[in-house]
A = this chain, B = another copy of it.
Amino acid sequence: MAKAPILTPQAENFPQWYQDVLAKAELADNGPVRGTMVIRPYGYGIWELMQAAMDRRIKAAGADNVYFPLFIPESYLKREAEHVEGFSPELAVVTHAGGEELAEPVVVRPTSETVFGEFMAKWVQSYRDLPLLLNQWANVVRWELRPRVFLRTTEFLWQEGHTAHASREDAARYARDILEHTYADFMVNELAVPVFTGVKTRRERFAGAINTLACEAMMRDGKALQMGTSHELGQNFAKAFDIDYLDDAGQRQHCWTTSWGSSTRMVGGLIMCHGDDAGLRVPPRVAPIQVVVCVVRDGDGVVEAATRVRDELVAAGVRARVDDRVSVSFGRRVTDWEIKGVPVRIELGPRDLAEGNVMLARRGADKTSVALAGVGSAVSSALDELQRELLDEATRRRDAATASVGSVGEAIEAAGEGFARIPWRSLGEAGETELAEQAVTVRCLQMPDGSVPDDVDADGVEALVARSY
C-alpha cells in the first residue's frame, strides 16, 4: 500500500493543502486574536528577502522611506467621503488608553492616505517640492470576516507608497511606473510569478481613487490573487487635506496624489503559485535557504566535508546550510527539505566522499552526481535554472488556463478552471454584476496586447475575469 501523503494533495482539496503547507513547512500559525498571524522564522525569512528586493526597487523609483503613526484620529478618516465609506466596516478602534476613556477614539490604520495627506500639506509649499515621493513599511489592520493566513489577515505587513505631484499626467505616469517597473518586475523576476497588469473597473476601485491599477496572478487552483495595486487618487485627498502648492506663476494649485501597496499576501501568492504535492517550491532569489548540504551518514570526515562545501557556497554568496542531524532518518530529512521547498539539496555520504563526489538534487528533479570540485558552478546553474523554470512553468499553466470567451455564461464557466478574457464592451457593468452573483469578478482590464489601458473606457479593452482570493 502506498504511504499516506504528508500533505493533502492539491487536486483533492487545495485550501487544505495550503493549510498543511503553512504548518508543515513551519511558515506561519494563526495568532490568538481572530484573523491575526504569527510568522515563523522560515516564513519571515522569505518575507525579509522579498522586502529587501522590493525596497531596492522602491528606492530606485525615487521614493524615500518614512514612518507614520499606527493611530489615526477618527476624524481624519471622515474627511474623504468614499474612503471612510470603504473602510468603516473594517476598522479597529482604540477607545481606552492609559487607564482612561479617550476624548476622541483613535483608529488603528487600515491604510495611511489620510495621515500622509495631513503632513504632505505641511511639507509641500511650492512646485519645487514636487513630486514628493514617500513610502513606508508598516503593519495595518482591517477586521476580516473570513481570515486566511497571509491571504487575508486582520493585521498584515506591507509597504504603502504615497506621492504628490504637480499634474494629473505626472501622477498617472508615476502610478503606472510603480505598477510595471516596481511591482510587476519584482513579481516576475524575484517571485517567478507571472502577473497580468491592468486597470480595475469602477466597481473594484480603491475607496477614494479615480483609477486603480493592479497586478493579478493565477494560483495553481485557477483562482486569481491580487498581488499589488497602484492608485491614482486624483485631487480627492489633496482637496480633503489641503495639499496644495504655488505653481511657477505664483498660483495656488491642488496636488495630484497616488498611493500603492504590496503586502505579506504575496507570500501566500508565492506558496499557491509554485507549491506542489511534495510541498513548497521557493524561487531561489527569495529562498532563505538556497542549498542544504545533507550528511547522509556520519563518519570518515563527512560532516567536515559537508561543512567545507557549505563554507565554499556561503563564500560565493549562496545561502547554504548543513543538515547533520544524523539521528533523524535520512528519508525524513529529505521529505522535510522538500516540504520547505529548498531549491537545491546536496547529499554527501562516506561513499560519495571517497569517490570525490556529491549527489545534487534540484527540487523536483532527478539527482545527479557532481564532482566535489564542481559543486559551486553546478549549484549556481541549478539555482538559475530553477528560477527560470518556475516562471516558465507558472506562465505556461496560466496561459493554458486563460480562455477567450464571448459571453457572461462562458466567462463563468471558464472561471471554474482559470481566467476568462472577454471584450469589456460585451461584458459591461451589467455583465460584471451578473458575474458577481456567481462570485466571479473582473480582475483587471487590459489591452489585447496585454498592456495597461489609459482608462476603463479605452477602445478595445478586454476584461480578465476569474474567481479570486
Interface: A93 (CB within 8 A): yes
Q: What is the 8 Å Cβ interface bit string for chain A, positions 16-54, against chain B (1 contact, 0 not)?
A: 000000000000010111001111110011011000000
Considering the complex, which residues of chain A in the window 49-75 have a beta carbon less than 8 Å from any beta carbon of chain B?
64-73
Copies per assembly? 2
- Contact present for A41 and B64 (CB under 8 Å): yes
- Point out the residues of chain B lying under 8 angstroms from A69, CB to CB: 31-33, 36-38, 155
- Point out the residues of chain B lying under 8 angstroms from A99, CB to CB: 88-89, 91, 143
Interface: A119 (CB within 8 A): yes
Alpha-carbon distance between A65 and B157 when the two chains are bound, in angstroms: 14
Considering the complex, which residues of chain A in the window 163-219 have a beta carbon less than 8 Å from any beta carbon of chain B?
none
- Point out the residues of chain B lying under 8 angstroms from A157, CB to CB: 67
Interface: A92 (CB within 8 A): yes
Interface: A106 (CB within 8 A): yes
- Contact present for A68 and B98 (CB under 8 Å): no
Alpha-carbon distance between A38 and B136 when the two chains are bound, in angstroms: 11
Q: For the complex, count residues of A whose C-beta is within 8 A of B.
A: 53
Partner of A98 from the list B71, B94, B145 (CB cut-off 8 Å) is B145
- Contact present for B91 and A97 (CB under 8 Å): yes
Looking at the assembled complex, report how far the CB atom of A112 sits from the nearest CB atom of chain B, in whole angstroms: 10
Partner of A94 from the list B32, B37, B92 (CB cut-off 8 Å) is B92
- Contact present for B29 and A119 (CB under 8 Å): yes
- Contact present for B44 and A65 (CB under 8 Å): yes
Given known A44-B67, A64-B45, contact A38–B95 (CB-CB < 8 A): no
- Contact present for A119 and B38 (CB under 8 Å): yes
Residue pairs across A and B with Cβ atoms less than 8 A apart, 29 shown, are A29-B119, A31-B69, A32-B76, A32-B115, A33-B71, A33-B73, A37-B69, A38-B66, A39-B67, A40-B66, A41-B64, A41-B65, A44-B64, A70-B139, A71-B92, A71-B154, A71-B155, A88-B99, A90-B98, A91-B98, A91-B99, A92-B96, A92-B97, A93-B94, A94-B94, A95-B95, A98-B145, A108-B108, A139-B139
